[in-house]
Amino acid sequence: MLDEKTLQQVASELNLSETAYVAPLAEGKASWQECDRFSLRWFTPTNEVPLCGHATLATSHVLLHCLGNSNTRLKFETKSGTLVARRDDHCIILDFPANPPETLTPAEETQLSELVKVASGGLLVSQVLISRTTRKLLVRLHPSCTRQQLEALQLDTGDLLRQHDGSLVKGVILTLGAEDNGDPQPTAECHCYSRYYAPWNGIPEDPVTGSAHTVLGPYWAEQLGCTVLKCKQVSPRGGDVTVTVRNDGRVDLAGESTTVLQGHITLSG
């Protein structure tokens, strides 16, 4: 594995939401095709993060579909513990820790009030919670808001940085229930919508965010009284995540993946 400075420099140069670094962990010399246990780290353009969903999905996809790994389950040793990815017929399922949000303290409400105003973009807010394990703020928009309004939001993420120094919050989730806004889609097809901003990690807006769904899944499961949720992240690129909230403090995140680019990086001294 390369040193941390080089890992960060490469991630900064690629300038994607997260860059994943993976390496086999096995006794002897098991090949990439045979190994079922790997180390995994994630770097944003500015820093290392403890959990990332879509980069884990991408890593699993590369191992299983590009490198021909023969296993049905892959284990990743990470800063968030052991994460498991398993093959399914049409997708990859990630076994992640659940990170349910909690009520803000009065001091936190005061500290974050201006941030909430900026993050909501002028839309009405019905509830604000925080996931302390992931340092993500969950802002539920009022039922009078629509999916179209959430999609149309154009936030100045520089304003988010000006309103909070990142000491308490590293990311903001905006969410809206599908039924809240009278969406014509049946609940069985979509339960909630979201967008996610993390400028404190060098990510103005993340297109699809697995770690945010470890917060959204437990929240909406409790709100709606169901354990399997179909979630849609409505960023300009967008994406769908199916979240199964388990009774052991973990969630299964299911998503599809496609190879769009392959290549090599040359590092010069």
Common-topology check for domains 4-97 and 102-245: yes
pLDDT at 186 over 50: no
The per-residue pLDDT for 204 is 95
Per-residue pLDDT tens for 152-179? 999 999 999 999 999 999 999 999 998 8
Which of 4, 13, 18, 48 is catalytic? The answer is 18
Contact between 124 and 144 (Cβ < 8 Å): yes
Closest CA to 11 of 46, 39, 41: 46
The per-residue pLDDT for 83 is 94
Contact between 47 and 8 (Cβ < 8 Å): yes
- The model carries a pTM of 0.91
**HSE on the CB side for 260, CA within 13 Å?**
4
On whether the 4-97 domain is CATH 3.10.310.10, my answer is yes
The per-residue pLDDT for 89 is 79
- Domain 102-245's class? alpha beta
- Could you confirm whether 48 is annotated as catalytic? no
The per-residue pLDDT for 189 is 80
- Domain locations along the chain: 4-97, 102-245
Average pLDDT, the chain: 92
Per-residue pLDDT tens for 62-92? 999 999 999 999 999 999 999 999 998 789 9
- Tell me the β-bridge partners of 93: 86, 254
Alpha-carbon distance 262 to 251, whole Å? 30
The per-residue pLDDT for 79 is 93
